[in-house]
Chains A and B, each alone.
Chain A
Amino acid sequence: MSTPVVASPTGFDLPTAQKRAILSMVCLGFGALFIGIINGLGQALNYASVDILQYFPGMRDYYQGLTVHGVVNAIVFTFAFANGFLALTTSRALARPLNATWLWVVFGLMVAGTLLAGYAMATGQASVLYTFYPPLMAHWSFYLGLALLVVSTWVTTALIFIALRSWRKENQGERIPLLAFISAATYLMWTVASVGIAISVVGLLLPWSLGLIESSDPLLSRTLFWYSGHPIVYFWLLPAYVSWYVMVPRHAGGTLFSDSLTRVVFVMFILLSIPTGFHHQYTDPGIGTGMKALHGALTFGVFFPSMVTAFTVLYALEIGGRRRGGTGLANWFLKLDWKNPALVAQVLAMLTFTLGGITGLINASYNLNQAIHNTAWVPGHFHMTVGSAVTMSFMGIAYWLIPYLTGRQLVGRGMAVLQSWIYFAGVLVMARGLISGGIDGMPRRTNMLEAAYSKPSWELAGMLTGLGGTLMFVGGMLFFAVFAATLFFGKKTDEPMDLPLTTTHHPPKTRGWEVKLDRFRYWLVAMLILIAVAYGPFLVQYLPAAFESPPYQFY
């Protein structure tokens, strides 16, 4: 038997019932994003001293909206898309159906979670932002809703690994198809990572909000949050990486450079995503500088897989551009298929991610972090990562995924391409505003319109934020127009469709150390050891926890 290239070579079409479940997840995700983007416009304009939030029905204050923006964008949208997309890629790569009932369970958990958290946020009983640091207390349904959203990802993990196990039984001694390997790696990482948030939410905050526990330990909950809160950014990112590694080369007409290198990158994310959470707590009292430095150094380790990704992606694009007649140092870039919306969205996403990565490196830089921590710089940074690199990639994926799942052709290709450019321009302008304001001390998470203080030099920063945010909003709305038109009015085709899958320049090895890359068990053990090293000393020193902080509802 030959070893598959990136996915089972026999071809495989998902049964209709499963396509429906996955389509429902993707629609839930983009539905959440729709609400999130409307709120985003309100926030960006608020920084420009324009108050449109007052016209939002039921909106009590800025922070209620900001909570919604964070939760629906960073949690509901990303989780729903990842659950659907990576269930699909696993199933396709292994050429086996998943359990349709359980796929619907995943969807149901997400709907229930979104409704519960949504109820608390909409009624103004959970204006605690998406980080929900105690002792600010939200309504119990907020915590329960978040817990169900996390559980939905665990069920997806189970689905993925059950499929992988049965595949292995039938294909002993073979390499796991690359696409399945990187999908499973993403969920393995996140499942171990999400334990922190789960302990905090289910073990401490939910009973606390129900009155079963009287007090909280803010530093402990904050630490548990960031134990999950850094790796969550890779859980947002890795589904986009799956596409960048395995699908974008196909769109571009290029090829994936190396199977082994790709697996190494994902293994490094398994190992290095979690033991780095203190880089979000550099300025916290209560945590020793030695541990902060250790987490900082490990964070820099992620620089390596990031640069490998840059190399691999550039390789694929350059090969594609040259095969299309590109020459010289940069002309190949212009020769890419700039009419293919799936490609355009993701190439632009990669460009913003370059800036997102550089600003992220600055955030991670230990004492340099003090210059920008909790200033507007930070949302400037992450709208170039999750807010555009990830979001635009998911939009780009949707341009082939919705046709694949519905059997309908994409409506409005031209508008889809335009949409990406507008969103791209918007995020660059908004980030320029937020970043320059942040360097100048302008805070994040702040209702600037009603703030008791200001600086004249923040005015330009605020205006750019508002202008860029408006462009992003327009780009986003054009996306939803294409999305809805395709869903409802796209022309039905009977042509069989498949996922856009690349071939590999250096295919998987069947002998040598590379074979061991497939042993998830090893990586799980190594990951747990690193976590123990990174968090053990702190916990030993810190525990037993001091549950002394009474709850507050200052909103």
Chain B
Amino acid sequence: MADSQHPLDAERIEKVFLIITAVMLLTFLGALFYSAFGMGMHLPDREEQIDVREVRDTPPFDEPGVRQVGDNEYEVVLLGYAWAFQPREIRVPAGAKVTFIATTTDVIHGVHIEGTRMNFMLIPGQVARVEGTFREPGEHLMICHEYCGAGHHIMYGRVIVE
């Protein structure tokens, strides 16, 4: 009830406020649910584990690089180590389905292909597998975005979409 000491009908406003809150919450969650399952925008999932001390002898990481694996499908086997990526330069055609299979040989690193949704961590012993498509031709920086020691800021690569 409003009076001079309490010049607001706060109980009513509170109800409206909480209803708006509930509607917003459901809208946001609905949008997320749709984008993940309707549009297929997934996060990195749990994949296999490997022994970080033997990464370079464990397939497919014994041969880092880009491979065509299907009609319009490519696989990028990517290694991060202090302080570089291998391969440093990745060339893929626009519109192709590209799967990154990546890990680290030493500390934690990160991969962000700037201008895209490709953004994942490289954690010792864990294999990251991320899929995506580069729609337009162009060049993107591939940045190590997790601190990995004194040379962290020199660790990067390039993705060239042809």
**A and B: interacting chains:** yes
**Chain A interface residues (CB < 8 Å from chain B):** 61-63, 66, 127, 129, 133, 135-136, 217-219, 222, 255, 257, 281-289, 292-293, 296-297, 300, 303-304, 307-308, 311, 315, 318-319, 322-323, 361, 365-371, 373-375, 440-441, 443-448, 450-453, 455, 505, 541, 546, 548-550, 552, 554-555
Residue numbers in A under 8 Å from B29 (CB-CB) = 297, 300
**How many residue pairs between the two chains, A and B, have CB atoms under 8 Å in the bound complex?**
208
Q: What separation, in Å, do the CA atoms of A375 and B47 have in the docked complex?
A: 25
A289→B43 contact, CB < 8 A: yes
* Interface flags, B120-162, vs A, CB<8A=1, else 0: 1111111111000000000001011111111111111000000
B112→A443 contact, CB < 8 A: yes
- Provided the pairs A136-B107, A552-B107 are in contact, do residues A441 and B112 lie with their beta carbons within 8 angstroms? yes
B147→A548 contact, CB < 8 A: no
B119→A289 contact, CB < 8 A: no
Any A CB within 8 A of the CB of B32: yes
B36→A366 contact, CB < 8 A: yes
Q: What separation, in Å, do the CA atoms of A313 and B114 have in the docked complex?
A: 39
Interface residue from B36, B123, B144 paired with A286 (Cβ < 8 Å):
B123
**Chain B interface residues (CB < 8 Å from chain A):** 5-8, 10, 13-14, 17-18, 21, 24-25, 28-29, 32, 35-36, 41-47, 49, 51-53, 82, 103, 106-108, 110, 112, 114-115, 117-129, 141, 143-156
B152→A63 contact, CB < 8 A: yes
B114→A548 contact, CB < 8 A: no
Residue numbers in A under 8 Å from B13 (CB-CB) = 311, 315
Interface residue from B47, B82, B147, B151 paired with A285 (Cβ < 8 Å):
B47
B46→A371 contact, CB < 8 A: no
Q: What separation, in Å, do the CA atoms of A349 and B73 have in the docked complex?
A: 50
Interface residue from B17, B44, B127, B151 paired with A283 (Cβ < 8 Å):
B44
Q: What separation, in Å, do the CA atoms of A453 and B108 have in the docked complex?
A: 20
- Provided the pairs A292-B43, A443-B143 are in contact, do residues A285 and B152 lie with their beta carbons within 8 angstroms? no
A470: min CB distance to chain B, Å: 22
A5: min CB distance to chain B, Å: 15
A285→B8 contact, CB < 8 A: no
- Provided the pairs A318-B8, A548-B52, A548-B125 are in contact, do residues A375 and B112 lie with their beta carbons within 8 angstroms? yes
CB nearest to A219 among chain B residues: B123
B153→A447 contact, CB < 8 A: yes
B53→A548 contact, CB < 8 A: yes
Interface residue from A284, A319, A548 paired with B44 (Cβ < 8 Å):
A284
B53→A550 contact, CB < 8 A: yes
A333: min CB distance to chain B, Å: 14
Residue numbers in A under 8 Å from B46 (CB-CB) = 285-289, 541
Q: Give me the 6 closest cross-chain CB pairs, A-B, nearest first.
A: A554-B149, A441-B114, A285-B128, A286-B126, A374-B145, A451-B153
B108→A285 contact, CB < 8 A: no
Q: What separation, in Å, do the CA atoms of A546 and B29 have in the docked complex?
A: 35
Residue numbers in B under 8 Å from A319 (CB-CB) = 6-8
User: Could you give 19 example pairs across A and B, Cβ below 8 Å?
Assistant: A136-B147, A218-B125, A222-B108, A255-B6, A285-B103, A286-B125, A296-B32, A297-B29, A367-B42, A370-B117, A370-B118, A374-B112, A443-B145, A447-B152, A453-B141, A453-B143, A548-B53, A554-B149, A554-B151
Residue numbers in A under 8 Å from B127 (CB-CB) = 285
Q: What separation, in Å, do the CA atoms of A445 and B147 have in the docked complex?
A: 6
Residue numbers in A under 8 Å from B8 (CB-CB) = 315, 318-319, 322
Q: What separation, in Å, do the CA atoms of A429 and B25 have in the docked complex?
A: 29
Residue numbers in A under 8 Å from B155 (CB-CB) = 452
Q: What separation, in Å, do the CA atoms of A218 and B8 have in the docked complex?
A: 54
A438: min CB distance to chain B, Å: 10
Q: What separation, in Å, do the CA atoms of A429 and B111 have in the docked complex?
A: 28
A367→B107 contact, CB < 8 A: no
Q: What separation, in Å, do the CA atoms of A440 and B140 have in the docked complex?
A: 11
Residue numbers in B under 8 Å from A217 (CB-CB) = 125
- Provided the pairs A287-B46, A361-B28 are in contact, do residues A441 and B143 lie with their beta carbons within 8 angstroms? yes
